[in-house]
Structure 1
Amino acid sequence: MNISLLKTPIDYLKGVGPNRSKLFKKELNIFTFQDLLSFFPYRYVDKTKYHKINEIQNTKSEIQLIGKIVDIYEVGIPRKKRLIAKIKDDTGFIELVWFKSHKWIKENLKLNKNYIIYGRPNLFNGTYNIPHPELELYKKETLKLRSSLDPIYPSTENLLKRGITNKVIRSIIKDLLLEINSKFIETLPEYITKEFNLLDKNSAIVNIHLPKSNKILMESIKRLKFEELFYLQLQLIKKNINRKEKIKGYDFKKVGNVFNSFYNNHLKFSLTNAQKRVLKEIRNDLGSNAQMNRLLQGDVGSGKTIIAFMATLIAIDNNFQACIMAPTEILSVQHYNNYKHICKSLNINIQILTGSTKA
């Protein structure tokens, strides 16, 4: 596929135009075709089930039903007018309610026609209604072609006010996928996709937006997550290599008396195998004449602070000062109190400096 196609401004996509493109840019930070394809759903709704009107209960979840519009009317004073469509199935009646865009909706509703209705029921004065539902003319021949999983995209209040509903976003993305016609360039080597049993790029992009089944949706999510983390990891490795080549650090070759004295005489517990492994890696980094840039990750209480303290002892053994920083003053005081007696016995001058420390 021509890469330049993905860089095409969103204005030129069918169904968008100048006004909608401004909203996409302002509200969703979508500027190009690529941005739109990377605008993933945050959840999916199973639309294989249809409720009967008498089955509706007070729920926070959306439901789907099939019914015929038997009446359309407006109620209320002009500024608080609302449009109501009465829906009937073989078990009862329910009202669909719109508080805005009355004229456009009323002109497009068809009396005595069956619709597929999707929305969240609302209980008002002991009666259920569905405010601002999604509607689709019921056609038996196209019912089987409907996607069983409908994507739900992030939105904003301003988009909904301007009529850019989830249905509109879904339709625009579908049009873009049809225009591109599954011509995405594979970004992972074949040996990686085979080793980790990953879906191809084309199938992953299409099925993240228009999933054919829950199984292929899960495979699409796995593929796209893997790709994102894979290239993030490559970027971090590349930065690490460049840093070690270009930025030289101090060479801490010696593990001397201070470190050994603490380890042999003051450490009251045995280090875990993981702590020993990480400490060895840190010692190698500090003795490599390259700047160390390391993230030590572990659960609370897993022993990260003691490793940081022992790393400072290596610096002290090589005639350097060292500093342990904490995110809060309370934690810094806690660390200071934990180590000041040990430092005194090791003849190390230890001080604490916080935002409230006076000059």
Structure 2
Amino acid sequence: MEELMNYKNLYNKIENLDIKGVGEKTIAALKNLGINTIMDLIYFFPRTYEDRSNIKKIGEIRSEEYVVVIGRIVSIENRKTKTRKTMTAARITDGTGMLDLVWFQMPYLKKSLQIGEEYVFIGNVKRGYNFQIVGPEYRKYSGKLSEEIKPVYSSNRNLSQNGLRKIIRDTIKKYIPYIEENIPCEILQEYKLMGRKEAILKIHLPKNLREIEEAKNRMAVEELLILELGILSKRFQLDADNTSKYKLNDDRHMVKKYLNSLGFELTRAQKKVITEIYKDLAGGKIVNRLIQGDVGSGKTIVAVLMLLYLVENSYQGVIMAPTEILAVQHYLSVADDLAELGVRVEILTGSIKGKKREKLLSEIREGVIDIVVGTHALIEDHVEFHKLGLIVVDEQHRFGVEQRKKLRDKGEISNLLVMSATPIPRSLALSIYGDLDVSIIDELPPGRTPIKTKWIESDNDLEKAYDFIEKQLVKGRQAYIVAPLIEESEKMAVTSATELYEEMVRRFPEFEIGLLHGRIKNPEKEETMSKFKKNKLQILVSTTVIEVGVNVPNATIMMITNANRFGLAGLHQLRGRVGRGEHKSYCFLIAKTDNDISKSRLKVMESTTDGFLIAEEDLKLRKPGEIFGTRQSGMSDLKFVDIVHDVKTIKLVRDISIEYLKKYRGEIRENTLRMDIVEKFKVDEIK
């Protein structure tokens, strides 16, 4: 127990660090690096290493090589640059060639480095007029040279590399005895993993590159294990608490009637997902499932069918959307259809006030309303349900774990379907949403034609695109034109939606044009979208509020201005608003950019409409925390795992975690491991 108390103290605030020479200023500098506890400091691992074993003769060195060179100074002088900075320039030789050395704002070096003396210089070689090293480390040559590997840490102006190295070295020396193993013994032995203390020492104080890799492999398993067990243990607890909590009458008359009214047959993939959900419900199991599929794959119809099934069996349902405009879209698309079946659907958003809101809340509480569509307003404390049975969360990645939980707590049974139109490779989805079962709708409804995409860089090509759009409008088609901002920005040279609207009115005077953005009031939004859907507007100028949810089969043109300002996932979502009808559809990406990542994104968009392939590329180009909102699950702060390339390891550790929880009935038996999970997920306790 004493060992555990000592271990727990490692999670004390960094202000409690008992290291000689570390005062308030240093503590502030450490906190600026995100180091808030002693454990954070121990786990503040190097971002790279300097391999000082690469001792080279000057005649052997190559450009972009990190080297250790012994040389005699033949000249040294201080000069002024064009910006009036002091530059110290030295030249050295070792008999095999000459090497230039440059330092900035260090004029004292002219006196401390003596001509004719031999020194050791360490740094990265660049090719200029001659080979040179900018800002090399140096020390006087004593006749001996120790081959070493130096850790390089992320730092700031208040902490030098050497200062940070010393603090971390002293911290490890003092606190490493308190570190306890957190990987269960059977896992360590089966996968022949290095011990925790040894791994920490070898990452911070390595003797060679090979042992760094071994230590990193162990740490990758550790951080994935903490992540997966933290996510999966919640699921095990949920299943244990809710097994066979309810039984449905299995009435399906309304479901069959609704299916017959659709006028088309569901795809094989949609039927498969419905069967998976139905099996959970029929067995009295709490549904906890992610439905993911490409834009236009028909996720919403699956969700509506399951809501209808629960309503028919005496429960209420909820659809929660991240924005008011998407909530309105869901409401408009299902309210009329379901009203014909005697199902009452209402919308609840932040903009509904006064007596109308009070009446809605009362009817939800009394069970008069069957399905409520809404935004974050649904999770407010005064929203109470009569008998909530199924929650559908759209655009899952925009909601945090706590928001989902708040809504689930309002239900008599906590069945949850979360939908994501951002395709994620299956094995990755299992990890990011580890507490959810994963269903994939991997085919589009029949009759969909591929969308032709063109990246437009020149004004000449832009004029041709406008001419093409006009021809499509004359044929009776419709167009979306998207801008990244609502209003003109002084900071960004991008076209705003209001500017774009005015330009389109001038350019296409014979057509009706609408404007849509987040600041427009709800009734006006509804009216604009309704007009566009009925082809009373031929062009809809919009911000990204139409990224998800809008379904207008007659719209065949998507033009995205300043397309370089969007990520791949966003571009793919916007493009998915067209190609929903029988007519061929087109997407124009307007962008002038020199940025290599932006160019790569635009080329990917031109080359494929496969959402899963685009998701893979997006993962390569962006940080994982940016793409799927994965910070809620901890994927974005993994130090040793690359979520694109380490899929096998992620899957393996997930399987190990499931086996462990099955074996111990959801209990985490190692005290240290349990403490690490509690600290990572910032919860009071886990089983």
TM-score with structure 2 length normalisation? Answer: 0.41
3-state SS of paired residue (2:100): strand
Cα distance in 2 for residues equivalent to 1:13 and 1:108? 32
1:90 aligns with 2:105: no
User: Is the alpha carbon distance of 1:183 and 1:12 closer, same or farther for their aligned partners in structure 2, counting shifts above 3 Å?
Assistant: closer
Shift of 1:326: 3.8
Letter in 2 for 1:174: R
Shift of 1:37: 1.0
Shift of 1:173: 2.1
| 1:131 counterpart residue number | 134
3-state SS of paired residue (1:271): helix
1:49-198 map, 5 Å:
49-50=54-55, 52-53=57-58, 61=64, 63-70=66-73, 71-76=75-80, 80-103=85-108, 109=113, 112-119=117-124, 121=126, 123=128, 126-138=129-141, 141-144=144-147, 146-147=148-149, 150-156=150-156, 158-159=157-158, 164-180=159-175, 184-198=179-193
1:207-226 map, 5 Å:
207-226=202-221
Q: How many residues align?
A: 341
**Mean Cα deviation higher: 186-195 or 37-46:** 37-46
Describe the superposition over 1:302-348 as per-residue Cα deviations: whole angstroms up to 9, x where unpaired: 77545433332233223444333344677667767876797577565
User: Which of 40, 52, 66 is 1:35 aligned to?
Assistant: 40
Shift of 1:190: 0.6
Describe the superposition over 1:100-153 as per-residue Cα deviations: whole angstroms up to 9, x where unpaired: 3444x5666465123131135374xx4554322223455664433x12xx4332
The answer as to whether partners of 1:50 and 1:63 remain within 8 angstroms in 2 is no
Letter in 1 for 2:255: F
Describe the superposition over 1:254-286 as per-residue Cα deviations: whole angstroms up to 9, x where unpaired: 43223355578865222379736741465269x
3-state SS of paired residue (2:120): strand
Letter in 2 for 1:226: V
Cα distance in 1 for residues equivalent to 2:271 and 2:205? 47
Cα distance in 2 for residues equivalent to 1:133 and 1:284? 70
Cα distance in 1 for residues equivalent to 2:29 and 2:131? 34
3-state SS of paired residue (1:39): coil
User: Is the alpha carbon distance of 1:140 and 1:18 closer, same or farther for their aligned partners in structure 2, counting shifts above 3 Å?
Assistant: farther
Letter in 2 for 1:313: L
| 1:313 counterpart residue number | 308
User: Is the alpha carbon distance of 1:305 and 1:214 closer, same or farther for their aligned partners in structure 2, counting shifts above 3 Å?
Assistant: farther
3-state SS of paired residue (1:97): strand
User: Is the alpha carbon distance of 1:207 and 1:307 closer, same or farther for their aligned partners in structure 2, counting shifts above 3 Å?
Assistant: farther
User: Is the alpha carbon distance of 1:189 and 1:110 closer, same or farther for their aligned partners in structure 2, counting shifts above 3 Å?
Assistant: farther
| 2:681 counterpart residue number | none
The answer as to whether partners of 1:68 and 1:115 remain within 8 angstroms in 2 is yes
| 2:29 counterpart residue number | 23
Describe the superposition over 1:190-243 as per-residue Cα deviations: whole angstroms up to 9, x where unpaired: 112123332211122112223444443333223223223323333334545666
Cα distance in 1 for residues equivalent to 2:26 and 2:79? 31
**Mean Cα deviation higher: 44-53 or 226-235:** 44-53
| 2:273 counterpart residue number | 275
3-state SS of paired residue (2:89): strand
Cα distance in 1 for residues equivalent to 2:140 and 2:9? 34
Identity, % of aligned pairs? 28
Cα distance in 2 for residues equivalent to 1:41 and 1:95? 29
3-state SS of paired residue (2:320): coil
Shift of 1:3: 3.1
The answer as to whether partners of 2:48 and 2:152 remain within 8 angstroms in 1 is yes
**Mean Cα deviation higher: 68-77 or 46-55:** 46-55
Shift of 1:187: 1.5
| 1:296 counterpart residue number | 290
Cα distance in 1 for residues equivalent to 2:42 and 2:225? 19
User: Is the alpha carbon distance of 1:115 and 1:23 closer, same or farther for their aligned partners in structure 2, counting shifts above 3 Å?
Assistant: same
TM-score with structure 1 length normalisation? Answer: 0.72
CA RMSD of aligned residues (A): 4.4
